[in-house]
């Protein structure tokens, strides 16, 4: 489609939004777009429909078919309501839980979602204020709901908002419900199909009555309460980065017995504009800078954060030189699972039916820790809906210890089916207390794990290729890697190729091909070298980029050699990337 035709199409679509079925505020916003001689924003707002994907919606807020607004959110809700009424038509009363984060318009969207569900005869449990995403997952299970929605865009910039849809088990939907829901949402082609008029009798406000059992269940995860009491005065800096973490995490830490939690007052303020950070993402050093400054000021050795919807955790530790270092997502998951497995061993609770879960791009060191302690380790695709799928399939037969992914998410419990920073922050403090009992801080514990189970170093690299030509280039890159896999990386022969597009695992030394056991295919390619390195390549499903996940093994002669080993591993990774042609 040429530019002139595209503009004409966008103008036609926009003019339909000037009709009486749209509210005055929306009509005024669309008219301003049409009147602006610069048509860039008009085109971006109307050139396509905001896609309801397998996880829901996410996009920039504003008027238009490609924006988060009451009409696109309304269509998604009406479609989901129609699907629920079909799936659960034999139930006397379908129910859903609805929550939201601190973002601009989040409360407005959540109330509208509740109104539409109720207008369709569905009972709604609506939180009285913003809450962590994992608590919505908890509420679905706790209240026996058939579905749930949380209005959140996680750690995206302030211009964004989103819509996360859950199924009856508290997990994000997978097949067949994801595909079927998308079909029902796509069938909503007119505003007139959306039932906006609420039935107040079907909307029940919830809050403390769900907070209390949720926090009590999280407290029940504690494996070392005596250590928590012994180190109750340990200095811990925590920041919610303007998000919902302040609603429950301070309370949770108090219940676990930690009395010396140091605030970052400016970031306790719940604000969807995230005024003190460039991006409210705890994996970025910039977002943690105020908390690190507070740690330096107070002498705290542990800094923790949660992202705006409180499902992901950020961790900073102090090294031997007194410098504060971010712990990466792989290391966070590794520390959690090392603790959970080791502590269960110490307590004599390992009976042989325990398991943990990690995503295929998360560090293989976790598998070594698990197997050495008679614990199974299952791999799954990226995203907590796949971790939840493993949990669903093993429920009642094997005991879940924990699961996580390299993108800073961890789940220590079964009463939630999404990553949970409320339990993760609480448990990380317990791990620090448990380590202190053994004469270590978290930095030293990390080195201890590597010394015991072998050192690995990970790095993620995203190569951005915007536009149609960029998309074509990404397709060509994947095709080339499949047809011409590297023979060696960093001087070590590539011995195994795993292609999740056809679920073939190929041994390049013997030519033997085995089928991998995964619930569906995915456009992911992995190379494993003789030296134990793992390289994963995956195009993003939501952004114009291709992601490279590099994990290398490096011999670590002793604990004292940790920093030198890190430097050697970084050079090792640089060479792998150079061999792949990634800049």
Residue 361: which of 487, 462, 281 has the closest Cα?
Answer: 462
DSSP letter (8 states) at residue 191: G
Tell me the backbone φ, ψ of residue 220, rounded to 5 degrees: -65, -10
- Find the DSSP H helices in 36-188: 40-46, 70-87, 106-119, 133-143, 177-186
Q: Cis ω on the peptide bond leading into residue 316 (within 30° of 0)?
A: no
Contacts of 472 (CB under 8 A, 6+ apart): none
**What is the distance between the alpha carbons of residues 358 and 337, in angstroms, rounded to a whole number?**
10
Residue 380: which of 393, 396, 361 has the closest Cα?
Answer: 361
Q: Are 165 and 56 in contact (CB under 8 A)?
A: yes
User: How do the residues of the chain divide into helix, strand and coil, expressed in percent and rounded to 5?
Assistant: 40, 20, 35
Bridge partners of residue 280, in order along the sequence: none
User: Mutual orientation of helices 208-219 and 245-256 as an angle, nearest 10°?
Assistant: 40
Contacts of 179 (CB under 8 A, 6+ apart): 54
Catalytic residues: 154
Residue 217: which of 139, 105, 302, 320 has the closest Cα?
Answer: 139
């Amino acid at each position: 489609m040429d530019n002139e035709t595209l503009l004409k199409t966008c103008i036609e679509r926009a003019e339909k939004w000037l009709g009486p079925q749209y509210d005055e505020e929306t009509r005024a916003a669309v008219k301003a777009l049409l009147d602006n001689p610069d048509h860039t924003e008009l085109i971006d707002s109307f050139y396509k429909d905001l896609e309801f994907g397998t996880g829901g919606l996410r996009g920039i807020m504003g008027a238009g078919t490609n924006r988060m607004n009451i009409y696109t959110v309304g269509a998604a809700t009406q479609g989901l309501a129609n699907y629920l009424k079909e799936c659960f038509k034999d139930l006397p009363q379908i129910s859903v839980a609805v929550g939201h984060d601190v973002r601009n318009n989040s409360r407005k969207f959540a109330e509208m979602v509740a109104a539409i569900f109720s207008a369709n005869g569905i009972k709604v449990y609506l939180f009285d204020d913003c809450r962590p995403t994992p608590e919505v997952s908890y509420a679905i299970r706790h209240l026996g709901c058939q579905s749930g929605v949380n209005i959140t865009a996680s750690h995206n910039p302030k211009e964004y908002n989103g819509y996360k849809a859950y199924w009856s088990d508290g997990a994000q939907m997978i097949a067949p419900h994801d595909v079927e829901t998308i079909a029902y949402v796509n069938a909503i082609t007119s505003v007139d199909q959306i039932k906006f008029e609420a039935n107040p009798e079907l909307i029940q406000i919830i809050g403390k009555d769900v907070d209390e059992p949720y926090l009590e269940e999280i407290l029940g995860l504690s494996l070392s309460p005596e250590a928590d009491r012994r180190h109750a005065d340990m200095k811990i800096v925590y920041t919610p980065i303007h998000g919902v973490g302040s609603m429950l995490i301070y309370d949770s830490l108090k219940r676990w017995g930690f009395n010396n939690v140091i605030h970052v007052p400016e970031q306790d303020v719940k604000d969807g504009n995230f005024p003190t950070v460039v991006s409210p993402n705890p994996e970025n050093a910039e977002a943690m800078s105020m908390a690190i400054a507070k740690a330096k000021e107070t002498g705290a050795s542990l800094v923790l954060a949660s992202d705006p919807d409180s499902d992901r955790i950020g961790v900073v530790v102090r090294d031997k030189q007194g410098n504060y270092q971010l712990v990466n997502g792989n290391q966070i998951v590794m520390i959690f699972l090392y603790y959970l497995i080791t502590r269960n061993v110490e307590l004599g609770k390992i009976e042989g039916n325990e398991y943990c879960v990690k995503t295929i791009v998360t560090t293989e060191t976790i598998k070594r820790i698990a197997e050495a302690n008679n614990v199974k380790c299952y791999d799954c695709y990226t995203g907590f809906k796949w971790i939840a799928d493993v949990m669903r399939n093993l429920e009642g037969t094997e005991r879940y210890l924990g699961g996580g992914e390299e993108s800073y998410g961890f789940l220590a419990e079964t009463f939630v089916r999404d990553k949970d920073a409320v339990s993760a922050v609480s448990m990380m403090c317990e791990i620090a207390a448990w380590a202190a009992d053994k004469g270590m801080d978290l930095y030293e514990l990390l080195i201890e794990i590597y010394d015991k189970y072998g050192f690995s170093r990970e790095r993620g690299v995203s190569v951005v290729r915007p536009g149609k030509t960029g998309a074509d280039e990404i397709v060509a890159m994947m095709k080339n890697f499949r047809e011409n896999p590297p023979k060696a990386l960093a001087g070590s022969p590539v011995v195994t190729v795993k292609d999740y597009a056809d679920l073939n695992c190929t041994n390049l030394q013997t030519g033997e091909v085995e089928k991998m056991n995964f619930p569906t295919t995915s456009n992911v390619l992995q190379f494993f070298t003789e030296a134990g390195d793992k390289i994963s390549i995956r195009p993003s499903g939501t952004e114009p980029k291709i992601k490279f996940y590099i994990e290398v093994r490096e011999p670590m002669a002793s604990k004292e050699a940790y920093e030198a080993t890190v430097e050697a591993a970084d050079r090792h990774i640089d060479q792998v990337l150079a061999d792949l042609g990634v800049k």
